[in-house]
Amino acid sequence: MSLTRRGFLIGLPLLVGACTSTRSTNTYINAYAAVPDDRFPLPAMSLNRIDPELRRQEVHYETDHPKGTIVVDTANKFLYWTLGNDRAIRYGVGVGRQGLAFRGRGYIGRKAKWPSWTPTANMLRTNPEANMPYRNGVPGGPNNPLGARALYLYRGGSDTMFRIHGTNQPRSIGLAMSSGCIRMLNHDVIDLYERVPTGTRVVVIQA
């Protein structure tokens, strides 16, 4: 996240999946058009600002995970929403620094539009200088580090404090620089939010 350093390690087992992908075959040309009817309208995003490989697109994706699974490939900075029949929608993402990233399996426990954000007690303890100014929370909006949408990852009935979320720093997509969560372009996280129901399975693969 852009305003914090998330000081925790989710110790889920490393998952080595038999997942491979090939060159993309269907780019969503209008994926980054203006979103005027949202709570905080988004302007169109120029494709020149987005690496072609990181743009939202439908791709060939061989995987054992069933249709309707979110698979995050942290090494290659991609998130896949599986469609079945070796197809998936692929999104570019930013990922957590080494040692701070979620790994393994979880599920979407809840979803939020333009979510508020409050640093956790652990964040306040480990990095008070950066996080204490936000101890009372940051309301949802364009300046919020969670961006336009957030998908909250749960495991065993408990919130892992790990999120798939939008970002107000689009240039961070494709990089390993967030504080542990998986960030997406706001246009992309809005698209994913509309596709995935609560309870969706999530698999995060670490290299």
Segments in the chain below pLDDT 50: 1-23, 99
- The count of domains in the chain is 1
Query: Which residue in 60, 65, 181, 187 is the catalytic one?
Result: 181
Per-residue confidence (pLDDT) for residue 179, from 0 to 100: 66
Per-residue confidence (pLDDT) for residue 26, from 0 to 100: 65
Distances from the Cα of 50 to the Cαs of 22, 108, 187, in angstroms? 20, 27, 12
Q: Is residue 189 part of a domain?
A: yes
Per-residue confidence (pLDDT) for residue 6, from 0 to 100: 36
Distances from the Cα of 200 to the Cαs of 20, 81, 163, 171, 195, in angstroms? 21, 10, 13, 28, 10
Q: Is residue 110 part of a domain?
A: yes
Q: Is residue 186 part of a domain?
A: yes
Q: Is residue 7 part of a domain?
A: no
Per-residue confidence (pLDDT) for residue 25, from 0 to 100: 53
Could you tell me where the beta strands, DSSP code E, fall in the chain? 20-27, 57-62, 70-73, 78-84, 87-92, 95-96, 104-113, 149-155, 158-165, 176-178, 182-183, 201-205
Is 19 annotated in the active site? Answer: no
Is 60 annotated in the active site? Answer: no
Structural domain that includes position 81: 20-205
DSSP reduced 3-state for 202? strand
Per-residue confidence (pLDDT) for residue 40, from 0 to 100: 96
Q: Is residue 150 part of a domain?
A: yes
Distances from the Cα of 83 to the Cαs of 60, 61, 64, 132, in angstroms? 10, 9, 12, 42
Q: Is residue 11 part of a domain?
A: no
What CATH number is attached to the domain comprising 140? 2.40.440.10
Q: Is residue 10 part of a domain?
A: no
Q: Is residue 51 part of a domain?
A: yes
Our measurement of the distance from residue 146's CA atom to the centroid of its chain's CA atoms, rounded to an integer in Å, reads 10
Contact 206, 14 (CB under 8 A): yes
Work out whether the CA dihedral 156, 104, 166, 58 comes out positive or negative. negative
Query: Which residue in 19, 60, 65, 165 is the catalytic one?
Result: 165
